[in-house]
Amino acid sequence: MPTKVRVRFAPSPTGPLHIGGVRTALFNYLFAKKHNGDFVLRIEDTDQNRYVKGAEDYIIEALNWCGIPFDEGPGKEGGFGPYRQSERKDLYKKYALQLIDQGNAYYAFDTPDTLDGHRKHHEAKGKTFIYNWHNRLKLTNSLSLSAEEVQTRLESGEPYVIRFKTPQDQLLELQDSIRGTIKIDTNVLDDKILFKSDGMPTYHLANIVDDHLMEISHVIRGEEWLPSLALHQLLYDSFGWKAPEFAHLPLIMKPVGKGKLSKRDGEKGGFPIFPLTWNESEGYREAGYFPEAVVNFLALLGWNPGTEQEIFDLASLINSFSLDRVNKSGARFDPEKTRWYNHHYLQQKSNESLASDFMPILSGHIEPDQIPDKAYVTSVVGLIKERADFTKDLWELGNFFFQAPTSYNEKAAKKQWKEGTSHLMTQVAQLISDTNDWSSSSLESNIKTWITDRELSFGKIMGPLRMLLVGDLKGPHLFDIIALLGKKESINRIESGIKALD
């Protein structure tokens, strides 16, 4: 790659970042890091009507949470700022005027009402109104009006927009790193607005000018921007600037059926669609996902390593990532797989760090004076984490380590509790009480020897014993439970359980 790699993530602060937006940011980040380049965040806030307060902070927080911070952007000056388009407002007009001077753009005075009338008129005939070469001379603009008339209108302060004069009869050959060559006939394009009557550029003009001024080498963005590529290429050509390389990422598709993944799919399927909570919508972070899991599953939505490997931390993603392994076709979103990834990353965490995350959850379930010390919680985590997808699952899987059962699974109790069971359990309690070498393995060998000596079946003892200690037939290895609960607590539970079940 000849020039320095500089990529940008250019969201409009119109709301929270959709998970697809995070994927775009991630691919930009990976590409930048792979090539020792810069990852720029540019806030595209030229559309004042759609501006949402808090959205920019949200975007930045989401990138940081994912562990993919930008190198340059708002608050991180890198010599190409400012990085909010609203703060660059004054520099765009001269480029629009340059295009007018060169004959690549023109003033248009058609009022919104007039245009709306044309649109409706066309619709009524089953057609679509397009403002371009075939009708621009019949509309009210600096191509159809005399120079004096245009001057008078401008001087009198009449509202205008500046439109791009799309060339006629050209076959464009556009290049996309993922899709190859895309051919477009310029006659199907409309004369897009570049500059608006409110003195602001539109997305198209500001985006091109900024990518040029910020020396962006590669534009990696969602497929929904592919229809803009022709205009963007034409703008680069008109300015005489070298265009960056383009890569349009495939859409993220619904888990079932056709179409793009939407907020509605998340609500229906019970999975987050935003990285962080936004208003009522719970985010991945708040739902208990680890950022490593989110990054890993997002990376594989549309990119593949060319091998069977599925687990990638950020460093190995940077190492393996390339645009030529990004697919053209949409990537189906699989909520089950996201849980699978979280499960994987949870298993990688140390028991100690999981215990730290679990402690506040625990406080929500039990009285402050019943909260055990960290060492105990850490041991519990070690016994139960294997079945957890999320830190919060640890409560469901291991609540009996923190409180004695107050009820017993009825169905299981019926099956386990027979004539003579309480007598056997009293003996087991005695045996436990007599055990001095307090470890899971000695408890196991003592109790098993005792069972064999009496020619009892293991099931006759183990099931009821588990019921008494846990209240159910669930939980990890029984002797690990006894060892961790301790002698006093185990015996208490056996004794009060016998009373309750008898």
- Tokens representing 455 are 């020619």
What does the alpha-carbon distance between residue 28 and residue 38 come to, in Å, rounded to a whole number? 9
Residue (45 or 191) nearer to ligand GLU, CB: 45
In the complex, least distance from residue 486 CB atom to ligand GLU, rounded to whole angstroms: 58
Edge-to-edge strand list for the sheet holding 105-108: 105-108, 161-164, 193-195
Of 83-142, binders to ligand GLU (CB under 6 A) are: none
Q: Shortest gap between Cβ of 295 and ligand GLU (angstroms)?
A: 20
- Please say whether the dihedral angle defined by the alpha carbons of residues 457, 461, 466 and 467, taken in this order, is positive or negative: positive
Among 133, 225, 239, 340, binds ligand GLU (CB under 6 A): 225
Question: Which residue, 33 or 221, has its beta carbon nearer to ligand GLU?
Answer: 221
Q: Is 233 in the site for ligand GLU (CB under 6 A)?
A: no
Single residue of 25, 40, 44, 194 touching ligand GLU by CB under 6 A: 44
Out of 11, 201, 405, 471, the residue judged to bind ligand GLU by CB under 6 A = 11
Nearer to ligand GLU, 10 or 354 (CB): 10
Report the distance separating Cα 50 and Cα 37, nearest Å: 32
Q: From the CB of 84, what's the least distance to ligand GLU, in Å?
A: 12
Q: Which lies closer to ligand GLU via its Cβ, residue 12 or residue 378?
A: 12
Identify whether 268 is a catalytic site residue. Answer: no
Choose the stretch contacting ligand GLU; rule: CB under 6 A; options: 7-15, 87-95, 397-405, 430-438.
Answer: 7-15
Chain-centroid distance, C-alpha 49? 26
Q: How many CB atoms lie within 10 A of CB 225?
A: 17
Q: Could you give the residue ranges of the DSSP H alpha helices within 216-372?
A: 229-239, 263-269, 291-299, 314-320, 335-348, 351-363
For the window 176-215, what string marks contact with ligand GLU as x by the rule CB under 6 A? ---------------------------x---x--------
The set of residues, in sequence order, having a beta carbon less than 8 Å from that of 248 and lying 6+ positions away, is 176, 178, 179, 221, 222, 223, 225, 226, 229
Q: Tokens 């950020």, residue? A: 314
Please say which residue, 31 or 290, places its beta carbon nearer to ligand GLU.
31
Q: Considering 89, 93, 263, 392, which one is annotated as catalytic?
A: 263
| Integer Cα distance of 387 and 475 in angstroms | 10
DSSP string, 201-253: B-HHHHHHHHHHHTT--EEEEEGGGGGGHHHHHHHHHHHTPPPPEEEEEPPEE
Does residue number 12 form part of the binding site for ligand GLU (CB under 6 A)?
yes
Of 236 and 402, nearer to ligand GLU (C-beta) is: 236
CB of 17 to ligand GLU, least distance (A): 10
Alpha-helical regions (H) of 12-67: 19-34, 55-66
Give the catalytic positions in this structure.
263
Binding interface with ligand GLU (CB under 6 A): 10-12, 44, 203, 207, 221, 225
